[in-house]
Amino acid sequence: MYELAFRELGYKLPFNDFEAEVFGRLKVAPSQLHPNAMAFIRAYQVLCRYLEVEATVPLFFHVFKIQRQRVGDQQGWVSLKHASSKIFKMFVESARGFKERYYVIKPVTEFALNSLYMDKAVILEDGSPQLDAQGEPVTEWSLRFPLAWTSEHFQMGTEEYLSAAVDLTPEERAGFLKMKTFVKGFKPCTFTTATGKVALDKYGKPRVEARFVNTKALLACKSVEEEKLLLDNMADLASELFKLAVEHKGDK
């Protein structure tokens, strides 16, 4: 696993149940995911905790969709982007240097080893569960997610991983609305000129842009209390309300 996941994204081992389920649904090893995708997984959990929304996998795959590309005959990085309503800023616009240092991870305790596996029903060729002599489903000890890079993820279309609105529970739909409402309350960022004046667009109107949850700042928090303080103030965070405009043709 690349070091950045632990150093800057706040991941700890073993991965929690939600993280393991996301990796399993995507059919990827964690190191196959682009840092921005790994950041979204963490930030989503933090925001859900703050808003008192249950962080479910179906809701996660309603907020985000798959972004990926193949490089020749090989699979490239798998990443995520918002499916519709934007909630989070990307962790980084351009991720460079994160591939320089990796850790080879091996479970050394029984607890760590067990965290990688789950009981999984044995399914017959016709799609029905295999039953034992007492009529109970037969299960097997199965990995929760791949431990090494695999092409299995690319055998499914990107849309097959996602959750449609009709597939969400009422609680999940309410949670999604709660996240959108939270971000909708953010004051926009206003662009200014080098002289401190409000920059105008080609129509003579103030240049503004919508603001979203600052993923990088959120994952830099060292405690739940820090996360809460940041999110409490993110709607009108002074450091994000103004941005120096890069002059474009037609701007004033």
**pLDDT confidence of residue 246:** 67
Assigned token pair, 109:
């305790």
**138 SS3 class:** coil
In this structure, the dihedral spanned by the alpha carbons of residues 159, 52, 89 and 96, taken in order and rounded to 10 degrees, is -80
- Report the candidate in 86, 52, 108, 50 with the shortest Cα–Cα distance to residue 225: 50
Pairing verdict, β 117-121 and 139-143: antiparallel
Contact in structure between 14 and 108 (CB atoms under 8 Å): no
Give the pLDDT score at 139. 82
Q: Which residues pair with 74 in a beta bridge?
A: 71
pLDDT at 71: 67
Per-residue confidence (pLDDT) for residue 147, from 0 to 100: 94
Identify the pLDDT of residue 122: 83
Q: What is the rounded average pLDDT for all residues in the chain?
A: 91
pLDDT of residue 242: 84
Confidence at residue 250, expressed as pLDDT on a 0 to 100 scale: 43
Distance CA(98)–CA(11), nearest Å, equals: 15
Alpha carbons 6 and 159: distance in angstroms, whole number? 30
Q: Is the dihedral of CA 48, 88, 165, 34 positive or negative?
A: negative
The most distant pair of C-alpha atoms in the chain lies apart, rounded to whole Å, by 81
Model pLDDT for residues 184-204, shown as the tens digit of each residue: 999 999 999 888 899 988 899
What span, in angstroms and rounded, lies between the C-alpha atoms of 191 and 113? 51
What pLDDT is stored for residue 249 in this prediction? 43
Q: What is the pLDDT of residue 248?
A: 45
pLDDT-flagged residues of the chain (< 70): 70-73, 246-252
